[in-house]
Amino acid sequence: MTTSADWFDRARAVTPGGVNSPVRAFGSVGGTPTFTAEADGAWITDVDGNRRVDLICGWGPLLLGHSHPEVVAAVQDTAAKMMCPGGSTPGEVELAEAIVKRLEGSGVDEVRLVSTGTEATMTAIRLARGATGRDLIVKFAGCYHGHSDGLLAAAGSGLATLALPGSAGVPEAITAQTIVVPYNDLDAVRAAFAEHEGRIAAVITEASPANMGVVPPAPGFNRDLAAICHDNGALLICDEVLTGFRTGPAGWWGREQEDPERGGWQADIYTFGKVIGGGMPVAGLGARREIMDHLAPLGAVYQAGTLSGNPVAVAAGIATLRLATDEVYATIDAASDRIIAAARREFARVGLPVAVQRVRNLFSFAFGDGEALGWTGRDEFGVSAPTNEDEVKRQESWRYPAFFHAMLDAGVNLPPSVFEAWFLSSAHDEDALAAIEAALPAAADAAAAVTR
Ligand code: PLP
């Protein structure tokens, strides 16, 4: 039998670090990455024969679990007819229509489909610059928008500074166009607009951040952010690549509109990915018609893609959105309640203070005593919780590798980083949830036992 360790050796010989996306290398938890043989519903089986409950779910796309039969059928039927015709196909229109329909009231009139979230945000920024005739972009520290140059910017010292490159190979001249400010800090955004008056094209934000662990926007944060942008002639880009159609039928934007404390705002450009491809490479951006008209072939902002709107990929997205009913969201929300309750019980039993970082069905846990660590927020249970990247990074992240490996040993596939959300799906049934609950006690023991 070729084991995961064998495959990793072979992979390292032909692929940098043995992986095609860095977090898969288990760098922050140690050990050998598992290689998947097959995945079905809530379960994933590695080439070593271990079957585990999966809490990665493709990093978000698999709202319905792995290989939902109707999604697979849609892919197979389409692939048998065509794979890459090179011209337009009906499926592209149907997927765009489904997205526009779900986002009624958001301002999204039109959608352009691309293949990855990175392309979606990169295009959104080019579009914002083209539409406003301005160059600067504001982003929040800890928000991830893919790996295009200008968005791989790390905060410089102090608030509202022009950023330094967050990766080798990115010229300072490019990140100098990006201003990085702390999340949940509207004063820092106002300061950036005051300092760079008339020069900021857009602020880009995750609808609700989930790439520094989950860090919910403070109530009214997105609404006030939109107002600040509009008062200053800039656009708000709401990145829903991860939250879109996962946290609710109309994404996190839609969830906020249901809440009087948060609702009543529109972004100017929204980006999507993950769920709209149902596990296949589809992403997109949407906006009002007059903004979208700046894109080629109508306008002067160029964007294109050989695989954009690929019929096999959009078939998976259409089927996923069709099946993503209110009931699906309610099921995953309830499953999230249950797993969060079970984890809190076990962390309390072993005396580990932990904050629940959560928006609806997206959640993660931050380890540590927030009072001592200076966290300035509260979780839904009144526990001190982090509100931005700086606070998140203060946590006892060194406890996570032991927790992660104990869960893995007990049959649960967690994200291999404390700074990632746990992804449930509608396929996580009683058996799967019970298996997670059964794994938690030993993992909590392991997290408590580890010393720095
Ligand atoms: N935006 C957000 C909020 C994301 O979470 C991600 C990926 O995790 C991206 C953009 C980039 O998407 P992709 O990995 O498809 O390029």
pLDDT at 62 over 90: yes
* Mean pLDDT, range 430-439, rounded to an integer: 98
* Mean pLDDT, range 9-27, rounded to an integer: 95
Pair 272, 293 in one domain: yes
Pair 82, 177 in one domain: yes
Residue nearest to atom 1 of ligand 1 (CA): 145
Reduced 3-state DSSP string for the chain: CCCHHHHHHHHHHHCHHHCCCHHHHCCCCCCCCCCEEEEEECEEEECCCCEEEECCHHHCCCCCCECCHHHHHHHHHHHHHCCCCCCCCHHHHHHHHHHHHHCCCCCCCEEEEECCHHHHHHHHHHHHHHHHCCCEEEEECCCCCCCCHHHCEECCCCCCEECEECCCCCCHHHHCCEEEECCCCHHHHHHHHHHCCCCEEEEEEECCCCCCCCCCCCCCHHHHHHHHHHHCCCEEEEECCCCCCCCCCCHHHHHHHCCCCCCCCCCCEEEECHHHHECECCEEEEECHHHHCCECCCCCECCCCCCCCCHHHHHHHHHHHHHCCHHHHHHHHHHHHHHHHHHHHHHHHCCCCEEEEEECCEEEEEECCHHHHCCCEECCCCCEECCCHHHHHCCCHHHHHHHHHHHHHCCEECCCCCCCCEECCCCCCHHHHHHHHHHHHHHHHHHHHCCC
For ligand 1, the distance from its centroid to the CA atom of residue 81, given in whole angstroms, is 30
Pair 191, 311 in one domain: yes
Per the annotation, the verdict on 81 as an active-site residue is no
Pair 54, 86 in one domain: no
Q: What is the CATH number of the domain that holds 139?
A: 3.40.640.10
Q: What percent of the chain has pLDDT over 70?
A: 98
**ipTM given for this complex:** 0.99
Query: What is the reported pTM?
Result: 0.97
Residue nearest to atom 5 of ligand 1 (CA): 242
Q: How many domains does the chain have?
A: 2
| pLDDT, tens digit (0-9, with 9 covering 90-100), for 280-311 | 999 999 999 999 999 999 999 999 999 999 99
Confidence label for 163 from pLDDT (cuts 50, 70 and 90): confident
Pocket test of ligand 1: the residue of 204, 240, 242 to mutate, having most ligand atoms within 8 Å of its CB, is 242
Pair 365, 260 in one domain: no
pLDDT at 334 over 90: yes
Pocket test of ligand 1: the residue of 118, 143, 237 to mutate, having most ligand atoms within 8 Å of its CB, is 118
Domain residue limits at 171: 69-323
Pair 219, 86 in one domain: yes
* Mean pLDDT, range 226-254, rounded to an integer: 98
Q: Which residue has the higher pLDDT, 154 or 390?
A: 390
pLDDT at 360 over 70: yes
Pair 355, 425 in one domain: yes
Pair 49, 73 in one domain: no
Among 109-113, 167-171, 223-227, 305-309, the least confident range = 167-171
Per the annotation, the verdict on 239 as an active-site residue is yes
Give the residue from 272, 295, 323 where a domain finishes.
323
Give the residue from 305, 323, 341 where a domain finishes.
323
The whole-number pLDDT of residue 158 equals 46
Pair 188, 263 in one domain: yes
| pLDDT, tens digit (0-9, with 9 covering 90-100), for 80-137 | 999 999 999 999 999 999 999 999 999 999 999 999 999 999 999 999 999 999 999 9
Pair 46, 93 in one domain: no
Q: What is the CATH number of the domain that holds 23?
A: 3.90.1150.10
The whole-number pLDDT of residue 159 equals 45
Per the annotation, the verdict on 270 as an active-site residue is no
The whole-number pLDDT of residue 153 equals 87
